[in-house]
Amino acid sequence: MKKGLYHFSRILSGLVFVFSGFVKAIDPVGTQIKFSDYFEAMGLAFLMPYALIFSFLLNAAELTVGLMLLFNVFTKFANWIGLFFLLVFTPLTFWLATANPVTDCGCFGDAVKLTNWQTFGKNVILLIFLLIIFFYRKVFGTDCKTKKTKIIFSIFILFAFGFQFYNFYNLPIIDFRPFKEGTNIKKSVSFPPDAEKDIYETALYYRNLKTNKIKEFDISNIPYEDTLNWEYDTTITKLIKKGYEPLIHDFYLSDLHGRDITESILNDKRISCILIMPDFKKGIKRLKNFQKRINDIAAYTIRNHYHFYCFTSSQSSIINQYKNSLPPYVQILTGDKKMLKTFIRSNPGFVVMKDAKVLKKFHYYNIPNIKEIKKLNQ
């Protein structure tokens, strides 16, 4: 009975850690963004430059601990590390659930979205299973004594880091985000005719001129005519019920004069080539090694009357300083930084679209040649 409970707890905990570490290791930049959100919410902005390092370390640790528990390798050490994680993150997720400074904890990356309360509950349950492993560790746990075990342990660590570096220097092998290949952006931003809308409640607050106390009124009984007794103070609108939210809700692009270009992009039936550079300066510098290929693509789009865009979220001063490094035909558009980072995990990234559909995405190391683009356009 005890042995069965121990191994059930070990396997279940291992599966949770493996899944959590794996889906985040697929997209270490996504974990970096989530760390940045946490640091900003907690007033730790000075740590934001190190968010990517924390991302690699956390993802590798979760994945390694999960593999050790799952395959019963060095489980005593894995249990200690797992308990450390839960003793840190369980109080943290309780704070997130009560204060709600970040709406999505990111514990399962973009693969599975949990509310902060669901995350807290998950951590409490997982902590119970880890405590069961802890209580029976001396009887059933394994140590890292044999050469074979040490080799397996080393392989787990190398895999955890190597897998992340592969995804970082290419693109995530699985794309859980709303702009994944095959997505029709026009359909993803639209509202169905019968879509349920957000429901809000408006409360108006008036100050009593005699008692100086503030009282809440709803919109149907506000004392706006009784100016002898009441004085308007403030209005607060609360979201009562969340309505339908499109899969993509922040796809908005404008030219350098502020004109909205979004609809013309989504209604273009022809192929479009797009460079995406949330950080324009950094993206331009990285493109220097691929300038010939970019020039070839620009010439190809000119010959065929296709559009060649560059999406960025940088300031106008930065764009004006470096825009001459791009071929003149490239039209520079600006959009939301988070949206662009969600679109592709590469700065710069290269995207081929047609009729509002994302055909293919490329890391800047793998910018396609003309033959590849032609093949996509068939």
Q: Residue 172's beta-bridge partner residues?
A: none
**Percentage with pLDDT > 70 across the chain:** 99
Q: Is the pLDDT of residue 270 over 80?
A: yes
Residue 169 burial (10 A CB sphere; 0-12, 13-18, 19+): exposed
Res. 327: pLDDT tops 80: yes
pLDDT score of 367 more than 90: yes
User: Tokens representing 308?
Assistant: 């060649």
C-alpha 79/C-alpha 135 separation (Å) is 10
Q: How far apart are CA 176 and CA 31, in angstroms?
A: 13
Q: Starting from the edge strand earliest in sequence, which strands make up the sheet with 271-277, in order?
A: 331-334, 307-312, 271-277, 349-354, 357-363
Q: Average pLDDT in the 262-280 region?
A: 95
Between the alpha carbon of residue 172 and those of residues 20, 30, 165, 229, the distances in Å are 15, 10, 10, 63
Counting residues of the chain whose pLDDT is more than 90, the rounded percentage is: 60
Of residues 274, 283, 373, the one with CA closest to residue 325:
283
pLDDT at 97: 85
What is the average pLDDT across 235-262?
83
DSSP H or E run through 92: helix 75-99
What's the pLDDT at 301?
Answer: 95
Q: How far is CA 9 from CA 69, 83, 124, 153, 329, in A?
A: 9, 13, 14, 20, 60
Which pLDDT score is estimated for 377?
83
pLDDT for residue 144: 64
CA 135 to each of CA 139, 188, 230, 288: distance values in angstroms, whole numbers, following the listed order: 9, 50, 64, 58
For the ranges 66-80, 234-248, 263-277, the maximum mean pLDDT occurs at 263-277
CB 169 within 8 A of CB 361: no
Rounded to an integer, what distance in angstroms lies between the CA atom of residue 76 and that of residue 29?
31
Cβ atoms of residues 68 and 51 within 8 Å? no
pLDDT band at 237, cuts 50/70/90? confident
Nearest alpha carbon to residue 309 among 322, 293, 287, 294: 294
* Confidence tier at 231 by pLDDT (50, 70, 90): confident
Domains and CATH numbers, the chain: 2-169 (no CATH), 199-241 (no CATH), 262-376 (3.40.30.10)
Chain segment 11-42, per-residue pLDDT in tens:
999 999 999 999 999 999 999 998 988 888 88
Cβ(187)–Cβ(248) below 8 Å: no
Question: Could you report the per-residue pLDDT of 280-313, keeping only the tens digit for each?
Answer: 999 999 999 999 999 999 999 999 999 999 999 9
Distance CA 305, CA 303 (A): 6
Burial (CB count <10 Å: 0-12, 13-18, 19+), residue 375: exposed
Q: Which has more confidence, 191 or 75? A: 75
Least confident segment among 40-44, 109-113, 153-157, 241-245: 241-245
Q: Is 175 helix (H, G, I), strand (E, B) or coil?
A: coil
Q: Is the pLDDT confidence value at 49 over 70?
A: yes
Burial of residue 57, with CB atoms counted within 10 A of its CB: 0-12 exposed, 13-18 middle, 19 or more buried: middle
Residue 76 confidence (pLDDT): 87
Q: What is the mean pLDDT of the chain?
A: 89
Which DSSP string corresponds to 97-148? HHH-SSS---TTTTTS---HHHHHHHHHHHHHHHHHHHHTHHHH---S-SHH
Q: What is the pTM of this model?
A: 0.81
Is the pLDDT at 378 greater than 90? The verdict is no
Residue 307 near residue 273, CB atoms below 8 Å: yes
Over the stretch 99-152, which tens digit does the pLDDT of each residue have? 877 777 778 888 888 888 899 999 999 999 999 998 887 777 676 667 888 889
Q: CA angle, corner 121, sides to 118 and 126, nearest 5?
A: 125
DSSP state of 333: E
Please give the span between the terminal C-alpha atoms of the chain, in angstroms, as a whole number.
62
Question: Can you list the positions of beta strands (E) in the chain?
Answer: 199-208, 214-218, 230-241, 271-277, 307-312, 331-334, 349-354, 357-363
